[in-house]
Chains A and B, each alone.
Chain A
């Protein structure tokens, strides 16, 4: 075919495109909360962008210095409110690390792992569902919420809350679980395993979805490492780093599970599709851990009897990191022997993951910006604390 005839008046070289500043957020349906990014565009292309955070700064660290250790657990819930169990677990492990000879009962350790992994599945379900919605697919969102409700009703029977559980506490867990709850968890495992195939059919193999995400927002291994990116974002770039395996905490070393990493199956290694696929596969691995933990849960006490009265850790400092659903959540806790912490610093994974947005969005289309932010899966409660 001949090239179309273009009149000289409309030659591409004559058209002047002008730069524009575009403000996205803090109220925007696809910035996942109150995240604001100022984009400098040339037409449809993002030349540069600047992230603004802090619109949800809720003074977490000040609260930890003002209320007792046990009350601080309540505020950790509201950091990454999609993975409250993981936050509780991290803070509790940090406080327990200050003690020298604290022994956590086996049953409590198993309940902790079960809850943390179920919460990881719930969190990834929401991440996948809302990611589909960002891209333009509404059905996966409804499917994901259907299954997420099943996990939430298990949590509700365990601790009475659908969100912000305040369940895992220093020394064990708040309440014991009974046989009916264990049966419900087993039922969920049976129910959920075939569902993963359904998500693959709905979203992973959907051509529109693949075209919107493959080769978009490529995060190279070097860039991810230099920014301290962790969690599914880092594993999506092909780095096999998971604290559950590399630096085991609680009783994770006993379980058999794989660490899924990105392979670049549909595009380039480290693109949005890889990060998405890591989350999909991680849900199955979490399910495997839950199944193993439920099958070998022992009888016994659900919290230690070594802590009597007020929780008063000895003087000292501790730093703990756990693999949360968004990456490595760390707490630096300084105690001066009182029942109130002297200083608590939270090392939030989303805070690191979103700081590289400027670098990976350069040269992308504005519509891809939404796909990139969605694939990083940030939670502003954790970024702003």
Chain B
């Protein structure tokens, strides 16, 4: 944000001195949005434990504005799919994603959600990658990923938010695609 803000100093005795900042609407909206990414509490398996660890005292995701884990999709704008998605769970994941308000972002956390992970070959009941079901913005590999990796994934989401335009409702060029084979 800092680089795009211009302070207006007309002259030294002006009443507007140190009081007016100029920036673009896009910059301002994106700055507020990326500074308070609210993830949804969506723990499925082992990765959920690392997600909890990221939110707890040692790694403290609150430092980056993502502290409030919301239990309902209607209050969240980031879905961290943390853990293996089975075929039985898949319709629920899709429904939760549909319930989230736009703009929404999805992070695939862990090998299972990226591609099926250790279950890719013999896991008859495991969805081989959550991008077959919902569009994924950022992939965080690892089994499970370390909390630092999850934080890095959050930064990549924030980078993505930085490039968005307010008038571009459809998020052209930024919206991820479903994996279709």
Contact = CB atoms under 8 A, between A and B. Distances in A.
Interface in A340-385: 380-381, 384
A63 B84 contact: no
Given A33-B45, A145-B57, A163-B144, A56 B89 contact: yes
Given A27-B42, A81-B45, A56 B86 contact: yes
Interface string B73-104: 00000000001101011001000100000000
B122 interface: yes
Given A29-B71, A164-B46, A59 B124 contact: yes
Given A55-B89, A146-B58, A163 B46 contact: yes
Interface in B94-149: 96, 118-119, 121-126, 143-144, 146
B45 A145 contact: no
Interface residues of B, number: 33
A152 B146 CA distance: 11
Contacts of B57: 142-143, 145-146, 149
B43 interface: yes
A71 to B, nearest CB: 9
Nearest to B48: A33
Contacts of B46: 78, 81, 163-164, 381
A58 B126 contact: yes
Interface residues of A, number: 37
Please indicate which of the listed interface residues B41, B50, B143 has the most CB atoms of chain A within 10 Å of its own CB.
Answer: B143
Nearest to A84: B46
Contact of B121 (A57, A66, A162, A380): A66
Interface of A: 26-29, 33-34, 54-59, 62-63, 66-67, 74-75, 78, 81-82, 126, 130, 141-143, 145-146, 148-149, 152, 162-164, 380-381, 384
25 contacts: A27-B92, A29-B41, A33-B44, A33-B48, A34-B44, A54-B88, A56-B84, A56-B89, A57-B86, A59-B122, A59-B124, A62-B124, A63-B122, A74-B118, A75-B118, A78-B45, A81-B46, A82-B49, A141-B56, A145-B52, A145-B56, A145-B57, A149-B58, A163-B46, A380-B45
The 4 A-B pairs with the shortest beta carbon distances in the complex, nearest first, are A145-B56, A81-B46, A29-B71, A66-B122
